[in-house]
Structure formats: C-alpha cells, structure tokens
Amino acid sequence: MIAVTCSPAGPKLDLNYSMPTPAPGEALLRVLLAGICSTDVEVAFRKYKGGFTGVLGHEFVGRIDVLNLKRKKDCGFSIGDRVVSEINIVPSFSKSTNYHQRAQDPDRSVLGLIKRDGVFAEYVCVPIENLHKVPDNIPPEVAVFTEPLAAACQILEQVHIKPTDRLAVLGIGKLGVLICFVLKACGKDVTAISKKGSHFDVLELRDIPTRKVSEAMADMKESFDLVVECTGNAEGFNNALELVKPYGTIVLKTTMAGMTQTNLTAVVVKELTLVGSRCGPFDAALRMLSTRQVVLDDIKKDIYDITAFPSAISRALMAETLKVILRITPTSSN
C-alpha cells in the first residue's frame, strides 16, 4: 500500500509499504482524508522528541474495512461505518478505559508519534475501543478536524471558565483558530492575538475580536483572566505572563519544543495557575460539528493527493495555510 514514512533520513513516500493486519479487538480502516498538523512537520524533520520511525500522521477520517472482534458480540460498529479514532492506544491488559487515562497510560503507543504506525497510509489498524462513529451530516473534509477540535475542547475539561471571564488565545495557527471557535461557541468573551494577523479573516467572520501582539502588549496587559498559549515559543509565553491578570490562568497548548529558558518570577508574583493541555474528548468535538456549534465548512483547506506529499508538506510549512489535507482514498469512493 501507499504510505508516508519517516526515519532519520526524513519523510518519504513509500509505494510498497506492507499492509497492516488487525489484531483481535482491532479494526482495519481505509483512510479517506488525513490532516497534516504542526506536530507531523516536527516529527518529519526530527524536531520532536523520541525520533519516531514509521508511518506519519494522526489526524484522519476513515472507513471500517475489517472488524476483528475478540468475542462474537455487537461492538456497536459495522463494516463501512465512517469513523475517527483517538490517537492514544493502550495494550489489551491496560485498565485505562477513557481518553483521559489512555492519554497518560505509561504503556501507551500513539498513532504516528510513538511506537505505532500512523494514518498517512491507505490502511491503518486501531483498537475498536478508540473509534467514534462520524454522524452522517459531517462531511469527510470537516470530520478530519475532529482530533484537533477535541484538543481544543480539552481546555473546557480542565479549567472552570466563569461567564464574566475575559479570555485571550495567543498564537493563531491551526489549533489557535479551533480554540477560538470552541470558546466562542460556548459563549465566552474571547480575543484572538497573533503577531502577523494570519487567519484573522475567519475569526472576524464569526465576530471574534482580533488584535496584533504589538497592539495587545501596548494596551491589554493584565486584561485577561485566562490566556491560552499556542505559539510554542518563549516570546509567546512571556507575552502570556504579561497579558494575564493576577490570579489568572495560562493554558499551555503546545509542547514548547524550542523553549530553553524563561523567567517564572511572574508566575509567583501574580500567583498564576499554569495548565498543560493535550488530547481531548472526541465525542464532544463530533457533537459540536454535528450540531454546527462549530462550523468548519468555509475554512480554507488545501487538499493534496497522498502521492503529492512533498508538495503538501512544503505547503503545510507556510504560515498563511490554515490546513493541508491529504486525500488518501479518491473522492469517488468516499
């Protein structure tokens, strides 16, 4: 089968990668579309810890081809169902039964990131317990956003946000946009802040106020009860420390791979709370899409055939591109 693999030599399109076989309790999925996210780019070019080798990719929508059931009882899924899959996979002996536990299980593997082939391939195997059915009214081009949208929803799982709170999202890339949409959908007072102003148009269409970092740093210091930090760099984190009010909260939504040194004095002096935030609830994300509380139809997506992967990843490196998607199964059979 066709797959995009990654090794110390970099990412490579492999036309002859061996087909996976589903273990008991797993489903074999035909991948329809897969999204390229910043983490994939970091993994591909060896900037991500761990030095992953295998098939890249973790954001996708697929279709069930084979169900290898452990016991002959209804698993709630049928062949042909359109599904998305949580990315943290635990071994069968694990007692981790929900997404929170799976995300922190010490024995976990992670699709396309840790010890497990990912989804930039025609087929992938995942445990049936990781699957979520995609409601019929969500097209594949929108369903492919479920994983990052779930990550955006995770903030609501972790932090109690009062109706009167003022929120800022700092760093408006792919994830920052989705976080703004989720917070807005929940009726929160959210301002989007970024250096260059990329993607401000899609936010303004949804009445989400936008500010350049230079403007915000001039007149919005200590204005926000909660700042969601999505830049992943020391400058962004330092700005967050200044934008947040005393006793406020900063949610860290990126892995800060490049951040070597920062001064945490402000955390102590302002008595701040820092919250690290990662994978989120898929069911909540799918409900938001299905009920159209979050609408992604008009989001600019660049769709490339998987065989054009080199062009797709170059495109994903450009700041003005909101989302690059790989088409892995031709549209006619979606």
Rounded distance, CA 288 to CA 185, Å? 9
Decide whether 157 or 222 has the Cβ nearer to Zn ion.
157
Token representation of residue 68 = 């290898």
Decide whether 39 or 277 has the Cβ nearer to Zn ion.
39
Taking the complex as a whole, how short is the minimal distance between the CB of residue 141 and Zn ion, in angstroms? 17
Token representation of residue 66 = 């084979």
Taking the complex as a whole, how short is the minimal distance between the CB of residue 318 and Zn ion, in angstroms? 17
Report the DSSP pairing between strands 166-170 and 189-194: parallel
Token representation of residue 112 = 């396309």
Burial of 207 (0-12, 13-18, 19+ CB in 10 A): exposed
Q: For residues 181, 245, 238 and 47, what is the CA-based torsion angle, rounded to 10 degrees?
A: -40
Binding-site string for Zn ion from residue 200 to residue 239, where x marks contact by CB under 5 A and - marks none: ----------------------------------------
What residues pair up with 126 in beta bridges, in sequence order?
Answer: 27
Decide whether 39 or 249 has the Cβ nearer to Zn ion.
39
Listed ranges 34-42, 85-93, 107-115, 271-279: which one lies at the site for Zn ion (CB under 5 A) = 34-42
Strand ranges across the sheet with 244-252 = 210-212, 189-194, 166-170, 224-229, 244-252, 273-276
Decide whether 59 or 165 has the Cβ nearer to Zn ion.
59
Size of the site for Zn ion (CB under 5 A): 2
Binding-site string for Zn ion from residue 38 to residue 57, where x marks contact by CB under 5 A and - marks none: -x------------------
Nearest to 230 by CA among 242, 218, 219, 239: 239
Residue nearest to Zn ion (CB): 37
Decide whether 58 or 211 has the Cβ nearer to Zn ion.
58
Q: Is 144 in the site for Zn ion (CB under 5 A)?
A: no
Taking the complex as a whole, how short is the minimal distance between the CB of residue 280 and Zn ion, in angstroms? 11
Decide whether 42 or 122 has the Cβ nearer to Zn ion.
42
Q: Decide if 213 contacts 194 (C-beta within 8 A).
A: yes
Residue found under tokens 């981790």: 96
Q: Could you tell me if residue 255 is left (phi over 0), alpha (psi between -120 and 50 degrees) or otherwise beta?
A: alpha
Of 258-287, binders to Zn ion (CB under 5 A) are: none
Among 37, 113, 152, 272, binds Zn ion (CB under 5 A): 37
Name the residues that contact Zn ion, by CB under 5 A. Answer: 37, 39
